[in-house]
Amino acid sequence: MREIVFDTETTGLDPRSGDRLVEIGCVEMVNKVATGRVYHEYFNPDRDMPAEAEAVHGLSATFLSDKPRFAEKVGDFLDFIGDAPLVAHNAGFDFGFMNAELAMCGLDAICTSRMVDTVRIAKKKHPGAKVSLDALCTRYGIDRSHRTKHGALLDAELLAQLYVELSGGRQIGLELAVDNTASPDIQFSNTIVIRREFRPARPHMASAAEIERHRAFIATLKDPIWDAGKVAG
């Protein structure tokens, strides 16, 4: 199954008050494995960058001033995500900004039925524990040492690893037997998922000829160990 793990950076917390989307990063996954395909873009928000927001992601109004507007890149973005489920950490926040930008482009909102919220998954899996991206990366041993500030693509890449762990980690797809009607090998990027043909167990019984050869071989042995304890008659 194809899924898109994504993250956004913004000028603030509420698109209804004029805050805008300034960065989006997406990671494509197939069957919970990153394929290597990503989408990443910065956007000019046509407004100032509050100091509090810049302190979080480090994106200044000057840096963003020569970047494209969301409307200029929306087609590429929609082509990349297709109709796949969209995975985000605190997904309601990201969906709110994404759909606000789509509305300004005169386009339909992305249905929240496609939303997969890893915060909700983490809260269910670890009730009462901290569920920030940093805290969960620490819990699962995911290296975030290079995360000095928030960044949409970097955070999406970390979240992709976290999503795998929250979904069962290395046990995903573990099967004792696979139906031999399954499709042939599936290949994407530099990863190959192999579905092998299921073969029933074979009987391991010696044939009559093998038994006879064994009997003849035994007859050639001198003073076999199993006769050592016998008393001569």
Does 210 show up as a binding residue in the annotation?
Answer: no
Is 52 annotated as belonging to a binding site?
Answer: yes
Q: Which two tokens stand for residue 139?
A: 């819990």
| 7 assigned to a ligand binding site | yes
19 assigned ligand-binding residue: no
Contacts of 225 (CB under 8 A, 6+ apart): none
165 is in an annotated binding site: no
DSSP 101-159: HHHHTT-PPPPGGGEEEHHHHHHHHSTTS--SHHHHHHHTT---TT-SS--HHHHHHHH
Segment (H or E) for 76:
helix 70-81
At residue 31, the 3 state secondary structure works out as coil
In one-letter notation, the amino acid at residue 133 is L
Q: Which of 126, 150, 204, 214 is the catalytic position?
A: 150
Identify whether 150 is a catalytic site residue.
yes
Q: Classify residue 29 as exposed, middle or buried by CB count within 10 Å of its CB (0-12, 13-18, 19+).
A: buried
DSSP for residue 171: G
Q: Which residues are annotated as a binding site for substrate?
A: 7, 9, 52, 57, 155
Q: Which residues are annotated as a binding site?
A: 7, 9, 52, 57, 155
Q: Which residues are annotated as a binding site for a divalent metal cation?
A: 7, 9, 155
Residues marked active site are found at 150
